[in-house]
Amino acid sequence: MSETTVNRAFRLRKRPNGNLADGDLELVEEEVPELTDGQALVRTELLSLDPTNRIWMSDIRGYMPAVPLGAVMRGLGVGEVIASRRDDMPVGAIVNGFLGWQELCLADDNLLEAPLTVLPDPLPAPLSAFLGALGHTGITAYQGIQLSELKEGETIVISAACGAVGSIAGQIAKQRGARVVGVAGGPEKCRHAVEKLGYDACVDHRADDWREQLAAATPDGVDVDFESVGGPIMDEVLMHLNIGARISLCGMIAEYNTYNDGEGGSGLLNVGQLIMQRATIRGFLVLDYVEHFEEAINHLAGMLGEGKLHYDETIVPGGIEKAPEALGRLFEGSNMGKLLLRVAWD
């Protein structure tokens, strides 16, 4: 059996209860069948680790079906076509899409949840950017700011401020002339938010006085909350909303590890503030805005080209076996910018 015909993949064996634990996923070695017409074989180069991976493992009422027990874990990645029996994906093409938590993905219209996208050749930016600043997280940031109708001079709070989505949202918000206040974990991230990403202030949610820091950073209240965390941070931001404030509800990572046995959620205490302040809250999913992807990518690529967009990446080495451990970094906050796993080396 040659090296490229054996795939190593993570199959979901148990729905996690709390943090992902040993035994929830199993790393298996499987022979790749001979390609038939309409199939291509893609070697994953980089795997995107996303908070939503934890949602997909649970059987909570979600926005996509839960990954079935026994199936290869769903995941986004970029990779290279290494064998092909289809014209739209020649050998050597670089593709982006749901490659799964595995080294080799059999690209077959009947097997894949969504078609893979063939990236331009030559690539206009480093490959990793297509899973981050110029990929789904950058587009999410752009879309969330668009929906918030953020205006010049307004104050916006952005949680997970140094993360893949937050770091890009912060820079777009600054470009729009807003006062941009981040919330991040630890002094290093807060310094980075201000000095590198251009936030006006950043609240360290790990500090004892974080509530006071938030009040001091938002003297004119909060017009927009770009919310990625939920839990106590969102609850406190609710107490600073101005009349007519808008919340772009992007994510609630603080509660994903409570999504067990079809239930979960931490419960917010201050939701009544939406009434008092006549505020609106809008949950959104980037997948619903496919028709705006081109506009978003053009905008982000333009900022990048003009040197007005800084993006960070944390690329975990070690191959596919590191995927579960790497995912945990999102929940402990030990990533700066987009979290990726290097699956293959040249």
Ligand X SMILES: NC(=O)c1ccc[n+]([C@@H]2O[C@H](COP(=O)([O-])OP(=O)(O)OC[C@H]3O[C@@H](n4cnc5c(N)ncnc54)[C@H](OP(=O)(O)O)[C@@H]3O)[C@@H](O)[C@H]2O)c1
Residues that bind ligand X (CB under 6 A): 50-52, 137, 140, 160, 162-166, 184-185, 189, 205, 228-229, 231, 233, 250-254, 284-286, 330-331, 333, 335, 339
Q: Are 196 and 310 in contact (CB under 8 A)?
A: yes
For ligand X, the closer of residues 5 and 266 by Cβ is 266
Least distance CB 311 / ligand X (angstroms): 11
Least separation in angstroms between residue 285's CB and ligand X is: 4
Q: Which of 292, 225, 214 is nearest to 252 (CA)?
A: 225
Q: Are 150 and 178 in contact (CB under 8 A)?
A: yes
Choose between 107 and 254: whose C-beta lies nearer to ligand X. Answer: 254
- Residue 59 or 80: which CB sits closer to ligand X? 59
62: left (phi over 0), alpha (psi -120 to 50) or beta: beta
Please identify, using beta-carbon distances, which residue of 100 and 231 lies nearer to ligand X. Answer: 231
**Minimal distance in Å, beta carbon 20 to ligand X?**
14
Query: Which residues, other chains included, contact 34 with Cβ-Cβ below 8 Å and sequence gap of 6+?
Result: none
Nearer to ligand X, 84 or 137 (CB): 137
Write down the least CB distance from residue 32 to ligand X, Å. 30
H or E element that contains 180: strand 179-184
Residue 35 Cβ vs ligand X, minimum distance, rounded to whole Å: 33
